Amino acid sequence: MRQTDCIFLLAFLLSLSACERGAAASEEAGEPRSTLEAAARDAGLVRDTVKEPTGAYSRDHEGGRDMLCIVPDTGAGRYRFATDVNFGPGEACRGSGTARRTADKLVLKFSGSSRCLIVAEFQGDRLALPGVLDRACTKLCQDRASFEGVSFPLIASGAQAARDARTATRDRPCA
């Protein structure tokens, strides 16, 4: 490679690095990455991930229906939640507890005798649980069921939607 080619490549990589740092800084400040993303958010095509996670999350699938509801609790960034994940007859995970938001994460702490703690990714219109969890979380599940890798799409925002959310057995755990 010639020296001029190396200089050009180095200049290109430095400018690319500067762009990424600028985008990251504007994102940390709460600004969208681009004007296109800002326009999409304004038009309602892309959900603003800075919003509160309060609401009803649910998805139907072959094994049943998965549900998660999140309502505000005392203190800023604090919530109560309940979840019901079904994998078929006799295979489910259920639990409730408290949650707190940290940037784009939601820390779910299950109540009761379980010491299950899950750090979920909050994506604005979806809450995704990690693919690997602590063994303490298996106590909340029957048979081979697991919370691992479960993703909950948001179906309705707000505390009232969360209170109205129903499990597969028609219970309202966030009411």
Listed as ranges, residues in the chain with pLDDT below 70 are 1-34, 37-38, 40-50
User: What is residue 8's predicted lDDT score, i.e. its pLDDT?
Assistant: 58
CATH architecture, domain 55-164:
Beta Barrel (2.40)
Cα-based torsion angle of the residue sequence 5, 8, 12, 14 in order, rounded to the nearest 10 degrees = 110
**Helical H segments across 29-157, by residue range:** 35-42
User: What is residue 113's predicted lDDT score, i.e. its pLDDT?
Assistant: 77
Query: Left, alpha or beta for 67 (phi > 0: left; psi -120 to 50: alpha)?
Result: beta
User: How many CB atoms are located within 10 Å of the residue 92 CB?
Assistant: 21
User: What is residue 27's predicted lDDT score, i.e. its pLDDT?
Assistant: 45
Which residues belong to CATH 2.40.128 in the chain?
Answer: 55-164
Q: What is the C-alpha to C-alpha distance for residues 48 and 123, in angstroms, rounded to an integer? A: 9
How many percent of the chain have pLDDT more than 70? Answer: 73
Partnered with residue 128 across adjacent β-strands are 121, 151
Cβ–Cβ < 8 Å for 118, 136:
no
